[in-house]
Amino acid sequence: MALILNIETSTAVCSVSLGKDGELLAYKENKEGMNHATHLTVFIDSILKENQLKPVDLDAIAVSMGPGSYTGLRIGVSTAKGICYGSNRPLIAISTLQAMTAPLLKNEAVISQLGDPESSIFCPMIDARRMEVYTAFFSYKNEEIRETTAEIIDGESFASDLDKSEIVFFGDGSAKCQSSLQSQNAIFVSDITPTALGMIQLSEAKFNDGAFEDVAYFEPFYLKDFVATTPKKNIF
């Protein structure tokens, strides 16, 4: 039974939710691109003030741990750590891909399309680069059944799995894979992005289990090393 602030900045959507006992109390988001440094602290301050709260009134702060944008994850985690330090509250880390999957499993329009939802596989995808995605497999109970990896998608990707089960592909990485994954068992769902809404029940469960991170040493799950790029043309 907890009051938890949830922070999600792993992709182009910046969002913050306030959950109490696993239920939504307040939510704010911005979908206008990578402006997280501008919006995140404003959203947090607004949610706390609108609910007459201070950081010390929270029971924990949860942050989306990745994979996703290197810069986005750094902003989210550093902000969450700052609140934890200042308020002496525990830090909870939530898998970005699992948080994406949580609301989809409650979407009756999607679940009703499946022949046997309990044996289906749920495959969130975050766009990486070119034909690469960050992805994992989750069960109908939102349990990870294949660990998070960076996958380069081609016509043979997931072929053996698609021969055995229906797989629901979703997330901003799934759109570019649709033409490659030709199977009657491949189901694609559009307009699914990681948000702090999907974190609420997951963070509550981790709080109840006492699954906290070491605030001093916790780092986001980048999955891949950050690679800096330089323009091809010298503008000077």
**What's the pLDDT at 225?**
57
Q: What is the pTM of this model?
A: 0.92
Kindly report the average pLDDT of the chain as a whole number.
Answer: 93
Shared domain check, 200 and 86: yes
**DSSP assigned state of 213:** B
Is 73 contained in some domain?
A: yes
Q: Distance (Å, rounded) from C-alpha 58 to C-alpha 73? A: 22
The pLDDT of residue 234 is above 70: no
The tokens of 82 are what? Answer: 């700052």
The pLDDT of residue 230 is above 70: no
Residues contacting residue 54 through CB under 8 Å, at least 6 positions apart:
48, 87
Per-residue pLDDT of 185-222, as tens digits, reads 999 999 899 999 999 999 999 999 999 999 999 999 98
The tokens of 123 are what? Answer: 């495959």
The arithmetic mean of pLDDT across residues 105-123, rounded, is: 95
**What's the pLDDT at 124?**
98
Give the domain CATH number at 130: 3.30.420
Q: Distance (Å, rounded) from C-alpha 5 to C-alpha 25? A: 10
The arithmetic mean of pLDDT across residues 51-74, rounded, is: 96
Shared domain check, 78 and 11: yes
Which segments within the chain are labelled E, that is strand?
3-8, 14-20, 23-30, 60-64, 91-94, 121-127, 132-138, 144-152, 167-170, 186-189
Is 170 contained in some domain?
A: yes
Provide the pLDDT confidence category of residue 235 given band limits of 50, 70 and 90.
very low
The pLDDT of residue 231 is above 60: no
Q: Distance (Å, rounded) from C-alpha 236 to C-alpha 54? A: 48
Total domain count, the chain: 2
What is the C-alpha end-to-end distance of the chain, expressed in Å?
58
The pLDDT of residue 115 is above 50: yes
Shared domain check, 136 and 69: no
Is 227 contained in some domain?
A: no
**What's the pLDDT at 174?**
93
Question: Percent of the chain having pLDDT more than 70?
Answer: 94
Shared domain check, 200 and 180: no
Shared domain check, 89 and 107: no
Shared domain check, 89 and 101: no
Shared domain check, 113 and 91: no
Is 148 contained in some domain?
A: yes
Shared domain check, 135 and 70: no
- Paired strand residues for 64: 94
Shared domain check, 22 and 138: no
The pLDDT of residue 229 is above 90: no
Is 69 contained in some domain?
A: yes
Residues contacting residue 21 through CB under 8 Å, at least 6 positions apart:
1, 2, 204
Which residue segment(s) compose the domain that 104 sits in?
97-189
Shared domain check, 122 and 78: no
Shared domain check, 202 and 119: no
Is 226 contained in some domain?
A: no
Shared domain check, 134 and 75: no
